[in-house]
C-alpha cells in the first residue's frame, strides 16, 4: 500500500486559497524584499501592496527563493509522520528555488522535486495534475515522473498592457518602451524551455488584443487537454477578465475554468493589466 502523498509547491504556482484548501496542497512561500523590509509572499504582502509602493516610490521589489534551512524545516514537518512529498518549483532557469529544494531533499528520501519549467499557474496546472494522480493511488515517485514529463506540454503565456515594470526591472530598454507605447503594442510573453521570451506583439487597445490572443493560443482546440484552464491576471478590470473567461469557455469545452490572481512574482515583473490563458497541450508545439 502506498504511503500518504503530500502535494506541495512554492508560492509562485499562484493557486487560489480555495484550490489550496480543497486539495490539501502545502505551500512554501518565496521572500519578497521591498523598501529594506522582508516579506513573505502571499502572507504579509500582496500585489496591490507592490503597486501602491511603486506608485509612491517608483521602486519594485526583489523576490528571493526559500533558503536551504527553510526547505529542510518544511520537508521535515511534512515527512515526520512517514508521508512522502512531491514538491513543485518555479522553473530552475528563473530562480534558485529548484536547486535549493533539491539540495534539501537529499536528506529526505521520500521527497521528490519537480521542475515545472514554468511560472505562475503554468506550474499550478502540474500541481493539480499531481492531485489527480494522487487520487488515482499513484505513488510519489510515479507522480513526480509523470508531471515532469508533462512540463514541456504546458502552454503558458501572458499579454502585457504596459512595459513600465519590465523596463524598471531591467528587462526592457527605454527605446522599446517608447516604441511600444507609441504603436500601442502589447507583447505576448511566452514560457518555453523553462525561460521567458517575447512572442507575438499585438497592436491596439488591451481588451481587443486579448480577444485575438485567446484565438491565437486556443486555435481550434484539437490539441488541448480539456481537463482545466487558468485565466490568470495581475489586477485587470473584472469586465476584461469576464470577457476572456466567456471567450475561453465558448472556444473549448474545458471541464474546469479557473480565474486566479497572479501573485507577487508575476505582478512585480509585469505590472498591472497582465493576463494569460494557461493550459496543457496533448503534444508540444514548435
Task: Give, in order, the Cα–Cα distances in Å from 83 to each of 7, 19, 103, 104, 149.
Answer: 10, 21, 19, 16, 23
Domain 153-280 class?
alpha beta
Residue 147 reports pLDDT greater than 50: yes
Q: Does domain 5-150 have CATH number 3.90.79.10?
A: no
What's residue 210's pLDDT?
Answer: 97
At 174 the pLDDT is 36
What band does 166 get if pLDDT is binned at 50, 70 and 90?
Answer: low
Task: Name the strands in the sheet holding 111-115, side by side, starting at the edge strand that comes first in the sequence.
Answer: 26-28, 5-10, 84-89, 111-115
Q: Is the pLDDT confidence value at 179 over 50?
A: no
Looking at the chain, the whole-number percentage of residues with pLDDT higher than 90 is 72
Determine the Cα–Cα distance for residues 225 and 96; give it in Å rounded to an integer: 30
Please report the pLDDT score of residue 172 as a whole number.
Answer: 42
262, pLDDT greater than 80: yes
The pLDDT of residue 175 is above 50: no
In the chain, CATH 3.30.1180.10 covers: 153-280
> Which of 168-177, 207-216, 268-277 ranks highest by mean pLDDT?
207-216
Classify the C-alpha dihedral 151-155-156-157 as positive or negative.
positive
Model confidence, pTM = 0.92
In whole numbers, what is the pLDDT of the chain averaged over residues?
A: 90
Amino acid at each position: 500500500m502506498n504511503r500518504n502523498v503530500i502535494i506541495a509547491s512554492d508560492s509562485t504556482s499562484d493557486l487560489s486559497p480555495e484550490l489550496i484548501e480543497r486539495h490539501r496542497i502545502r505551500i512554501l512561500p518565496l521572500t519578497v524584499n521591498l523598501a529594506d523590509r522582508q516579506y513573505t509572499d502571499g502572507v504579509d504582502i500582496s500585489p496591490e501592496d507592490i503597486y501602491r509602493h511603486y506608485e509612491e516610490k517608483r521602486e519594485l521589489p526583489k523576490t528571493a527563493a526559500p533558503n536551504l534551512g527553510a526547505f529542510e524545516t518544511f520537508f521535515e514537518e511534512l515527512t515526520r509522520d512517514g508521508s512522502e512529498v512531491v514538491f513543485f518549483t518555479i522553473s530552475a532557469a528563473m530562480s534558485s528555488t529548484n536547486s535549493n529544494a533539491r539540495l534539501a531533499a537529499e536528506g529526505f528520501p521520500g521527497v521528490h522535486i519537480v521542475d515545472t519549467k514554468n511560472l505562475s499557474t503554468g506550474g499550478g496546472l502540474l500541481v493539480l495534475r499531481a492531485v489527480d494522480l494522487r487520487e488515482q493511488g499513484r505513488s510519489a515517485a510515479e507522480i513526480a515522473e509523470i508531471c515532469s514529463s508533462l512540463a514541456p506540454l504546458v502552454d503558458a503565456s501572458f499579454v502585457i498592457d504596459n512595459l513600465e515594470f519590465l523596463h524598471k526591472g531591467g528587462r526592457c530598454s527605454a527605446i522599446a518602451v517608447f516604441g511600444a507605447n507609441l504603436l500601442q503594442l502589447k507583447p505576448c510573453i511566452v514560457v518555453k524551455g523553462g525561460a521567458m521570451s517575447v512572442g507575438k506583439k499585438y497592436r491596439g487597445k488591451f481588451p481587443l488584443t486579448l480577444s485575438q490572443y485567446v484565438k491565437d493560443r486556443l486555435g481550434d482546440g484539437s490539441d488541448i487537454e480539456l481537463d482545466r484552464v487558468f485565466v490568470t491576471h495581475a489586477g485587470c478590470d473584472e469586465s476584461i477578465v469576464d470577457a476572456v473567461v466567456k471567450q475561453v469557455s465558448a472556444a473549448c469545452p474545458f471541464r474546469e475554468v479557473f480565474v486566479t490572481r497572479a501573485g507577487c512574482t508575476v505582478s512585480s515583473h509585469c505590472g498591472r493589466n497582465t493576463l494569460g490563458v494557461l493550459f496543457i497541450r496533448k503534444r508540444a508545439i514548435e
